Amino acid sequence: TDQYLVVGNPINHSKSPFIHAEFAKSTGEVLTYEKLEVAKDGFVDTMSAFFAGNGKGCNVTVPFKEEAYQFATTLTERARLAGAVNTLKLMDDGSILGDNTDGQGLVADLLDHDVALTGARILLIGAGGAARGVILPLLAHQPKEIIIANRTASKAVALAESFNVHAKSHQSQITACEMCALEGEFDVIINSTAASLSGERPAIDADTIGSTTVMYDMAYGVGETSSNQWAREQGAKQVIDGLGMLVGQAAESFYVWRGVRPETQRVLSALRQSLA
């Protein structure tokens, strides 16, 4: 049987085994998918042994996404630009493909919520790995502009510059702005920071939120995230948390491995119920 894994440290709370078991059931694909905690210095040895056996593919999470990027023999463009790999696939010729499905997971969830990206004015908060990973998939939908704001402004500037050329080729533009100097309302605000996980919210001005603004927080948990609660109180049209992005990236990984697109809504509802 084809074997799949999710590896990380810690990995105990991963929902990926449940999600992929449901995908396998609904598509009729025959496979196993398990979680494995890997020692901080054990990633390469574990992956080498896995792919030498019956291993066909692997999801990679904190703290191994950069190591997975190095481990891959070839990279997709979206993985290369993300600088991180969350999906490894054993190819027929024995090489290991490194991909990153996080950004597509976000975009798919936004589109599932009927959020228009083409022509949109997008604020991306945060300039770490999570932000980097979603920029190319967002640009593919030709937003009017993406503005990056980060607590440490210099990181936002560097990140925007590194995507300048790609933005132009998608008839879009990407710039950085001080968190406190943002002007005007945004169509879509994406919080890529983990601020909500400690009950905080990014220090953006309430004027960035208008009655047509959609707030997307990559975090999720029991109840509304602190950033989403704040955005809703400022009059945002819609607030969305990151549970759908989690399921979306899983669906995209499943597609990369098996060539079959699983349906996501039922799994998402089940996860939502388990959080309630």
CB of 203 to ligand ATR, least distance (A): 7
Q: How far is 85 from 254, CA to CA, in rounded Å?
A: 15
Identify the residue among 76, 87, 150, 264 touching ligand ATR (CB under 6 A).
150
- What are the tokens at 194? 């983990």
Any catalytic annotation for residue 56? no
| Contact indicator for 102, 130 with CB cutoff of 8 Å | yes
Catalytic-labelled residue, pool 35, 56, 65, 89: 65
Q: What is the DSSP string of 47-81?
A: HHHHHHTTEEEEEE-TT-HHHHHHH-SEE-HHHHH
Residue number, 49 or 206, with CB nearest to ligand ATR? 206
The torsion region of residue 119 among left (phi > 0), alpha (psi -120 to 50) and beta comes to: left
Q: What is the DSSP string of 161-203?
A: HHTHHHHHHTT-EEEE--GGG--S--SEEEE-SSGGGGT----
Identify the residue among 124, 127, 167, 209 touching ligand ATR (CB under 6 A).
127
Residue number, 7 or 24, with CB nearest to ligand ATR? 7
- The answer on whether 253 is annotated among ligand-binding residues is no
Residue 124 as a binder of ligand ATR (CB under 6 A): the answer is no
Select from 7-15, 137-145, 193-201, 223-231 the region that touches ligand ATR (CB under 6 A).
193-201
Give the binding site for ligand ATR (CB under 6 A).
126-131, 150-152, 155, 192-195, 200, 202
| Binding site members for NADP(+) | 77, 126-130, 150-155, 218, 242
Q: Which residues are catalytic?
A: 65
